[in-house]
Structure formats: C-alpha cells, structure tokens
Amino acid sequence: MSSAAPSHPHPSRFVLIVAVGIAVISGALTALQTRVNSQLSLELGDGILASVISFASGLVILTIAVLVAPRGRDGLARLTASVRERRTPWWYLIGGLFGAVFVVGQGLTAAVLGVALFTIAAVATQTITGAVIDRVGLGDLPKRPVTALRVVASLLALAAVTFSGLAELRVDVPIGLLILPLLAGVGIGFQQAITGQVRHVSQSALTATFINFLTGTTVLILAAIVHTIVVGWVASFPSNPLLYTGGVLGVLFIGGAAVVVRTIGVLLLGLGTIAGQLLGALVLDLVIPISGRGLPTTTVIGTLLTLVAVSLAVLSARRSHVATPPLTEP
C-alpha cells in the first residue's frame, strides 16, 4: 500500500464549510451522548457497564444496517479482501480500541482528576496528534502543512477548553494519573485518522463505523467482565428508554467523522468536534440544566474561543493548497 498521498483538487469553500459543519454537529452529538451516558451511569452505579451498553446498542444497529444495506456488505467485503491481501494493514481494524480506552480511562480517572482536567489533558494530546498526523500523513491520508494559523488555532482551542473548565478545575491531584487522559487524547487522534482510512478502503462510512464499534465493544465487554468480577453486578437497570440512546448518538458521531476526515484533516476535525462539544454542552445547560449547577461565564467565553479557533483553522485550510478528496459518500 502506497504511503504517498494521492493528488486531488483543493476543496471548494462550500465543501470545506459543509465538512466542518458536520464535524461541529458530530461534536454536539457527543455532548448529548455524554449527558445521556452520564445519567445512565448514575442510575446504574457503574460507568463501565453504561459504556458497554452504549457501544453494544450502537453495534446492534450497525450490524443490522451492514447486513441489510448492499453498500455495507460490499464495503465489508472490500475491506476484508484488502486486509487479507495485505494491501491494508491489519491494525486499521482496531480504531475502536482507542475509543474504548478513552471511555475506560475516563471512568477510572475522571472521579479523581475531575472531568475538566481530564478533558484538558486529552484535548491537548488529541490536538498535537492531529497536527502531527496531518503533517506526516497516515497511509493515504493527504498531508497538510503546519502553518502559523493552524498553530494559533490549536493553542486557542486548548486555551478555550481550559478556560471553559476553570470553574471545575482541580489541581490537587496525583500527577501520575494524567498519563491516562494524555494517552487517551493520542488515541482519539489516531482513531479518527484510522477510521477515515477504513472508510477510504471500504468505500463505505457505514462499514468504517461498524468496524469501529465492533472492536470498541469487544474491548469494553472484556473490561466489564473484569470489573464485574471485582465489584459485582448491578442491582437493576433504569426503565427510561432515552437512557439507552447513547449508542445511536455514537454511531452518528463516528460516521460523520469517517466521512469528513479526508476532506478537512485530523486536526480540523478535532477542532470542529471540540467546538461542537462545548457548544452542545452550552445549549444543553441552557435548555436542560443540571440541578444545582448554573451556567458559568467561563463556559460561554470558552465556547466562543473554540469557534474562533475553528474559523482560523478553516482560513488556514483555504489558504493551503492541500490535496484532498471531495466530500461525497460512495
């Protein structure tokens, strides 16, 4: 498999804006997914089991879709043949592993570090990883230069996430625990890149999303088995059906990222999803506020800063003559 990036025309302004819009919407969906999964975790009393339910429900939906849709079956056949013939590295199939590690890492350390510090650490390495992958390339992903605007946009996004979490930031924590969120951020960057590659090889975003959820669910089930042996099984399951919609939201997020990553690159995809997460969380706090928690001014300012960061990154993308494919679903 050639590592050289193929030559494609520079995306039009419309295509670029649509692709970034999908990234932002995907990020907003993850904010809603986080709210749903957090409530499920609270009512179950088990964060890892809640993550398994979320991933597994998404996998069930994707399995049915892949079996029913000819595009999904054809994509799976193309991907299998490509891996068997060694035209595609086998490790392209483990992108979901990184998502599972992120979820488990958050469950193990967020209670000690605090959600704000966990998110800041993860976003820092996710942003750096995205910039590095864009610069050196991964497989057939188009290479993108490191420009001053991209660097400023990355730093601004990190500052925005830090600022938005100031109200909940904790500093009296074991520094060694930061290793997990830092590694989780690196993993998310690779996950987005690998999923985009799987979509390219299979020519199907449905297939790429299915593979992502298959590996992620497998890892989480193994983690849940170990966790259950140690702490025991939950007493009961909540009856509210809305608490089991996290998987659907995850499918939309991963699918959207798979479609646009080759068009906008890993860094801009990451910045777009980060902006969407903060914007989505802001809207949720306004529409469905959590009892006892107001809307900190820092969150509002942080959200606005991420939107500025995304705008700078889009401007940089328009100025750079980068070889990228058009935004079309095969």
**Gap between the Cα atoms of 15 and 253, Å rounded:** 19
**Would the pLDDT of 80 be above 70?**
yes
Q: Which residues contact 97 (CB under 8 A, 6 or more apart)?
A: 187, 215, 216, 219
**Do the domain assignments include residue 330?**
no
What mean pLDDT comes out for the span 273-289? Answer: 86
* pLDDT at site 110: 65
Instruction: Write the pLDDT tens digit of every residue in 141-174.
Output: 888 888 888 899 999 988 888 887 776 776 677 7
pTM score, whole prediction: 0.84
* pLDDT at site 255: 93
Q: At 181, phi and psi to the nearest 5? A: -65, -30
pLDDT band at 330 (very low <50, low <70, confident <90, very high): very low
**Would the pLDDT of 258 be above 70?**
yes
**Gap between the Cα atoms of 197 and 41, Å rounded:** 32
User: What's the burial of 30, exposed, middle or buried (CB within 10 Å: 0-12/13-18/19+)?
Assistant: buried
pLDDT band at 3 (very low <50, low <70, confident <90, very high): very low
**Do the domain assignments include residue 6?**
no
**Are 139 and 5 a contacting pair, CB within 8 Å?**
no
pLDDT band at 57 (very low <50, low <70, confident <90, very high): very high
Q: Which residues contact 146 (CB under 8 A, 6 or more apart)?
A: 131, 134, 135
The residue with greater pLDDT, 99 or 59, is 59
* pLDDT at site 291: 58
Helix 179-202, helix 95-113: angle, nearest 10? 160
**Gap between the Cα atoms of 195 and 211, Å rounded:** 8
**Do the domain assignments include residue 325?**
no
**Do the domain assignments include residue 214?**
yes
Domain count, the chain: 1
pLDDT band at 329 (very low <50, low <70, confident <90, very high): very low
Max Cα-Cα span within the chain:
57
**Do the domain assignments include residue 3?**
no
**Are 26 and 188 a contacting pair, CB within 8 Å?**
no
**Would the pLDDT of 302 be above 90?**
no
What is the full DSSP assignment across 288-306?
SPPTT----HHHHHHHHHH
**Gap between the Cα atoms of 178 and 247, Å rounded:** 27
Instruction: Write the pLDDT tens digit of every residue in 119-140.
Output: 888 888 999 999 999 988 887 7
Helix (H) or strand (E) holding 193: helix 179-202
**Would the pLDDT of 289 be above 70?**
yes
The residue with greater pLDDT, 6 or 240, is 240
**Do the domain assignments include residue 98?**
yes
What mean pLDDT comes out for the span 65-77? Answer: 94
Highest mean predicted confidence (pLDDT) among 7-11, 40-44, 106-110, 295-299: 40-44
3-state secondary structure of 88: coil
**Gap between the Cα atoms of 309 and 190, Å rounded:** 21
* pLDDT at site 327: 46
What mean pLDDT comes out for the span 179-202? Answer: 90
**Do the domain assignments include residue 33?**
yes
**Do the domain assignments include residue 238?**
yes
**Gap between the Cα atoms of 132 and 259, Å rounded:** 20
Domain containing 178: what range? 13-319
**Would the pLDDT of 293 be above 70?**
no
Cα 264 to Cα 17, 160, 222, 226, 316: the distances in Å are 10, 21, 34, 39, 11
**Gap between the Cα atoms of 204 and 94, Å rounded:** 17
What mean pLDDT comes out for the span 235-263? Answer: 91
What's the mean pLDDT when you consider all of the chain? 85
Alpha helix positions (H), 45-147: 47-68, 70-84, 95-113, 115-136
Q: Which residues contact 49 (CB under 8 A, 6 or more apart)?
A: 224, 227, 228, 234
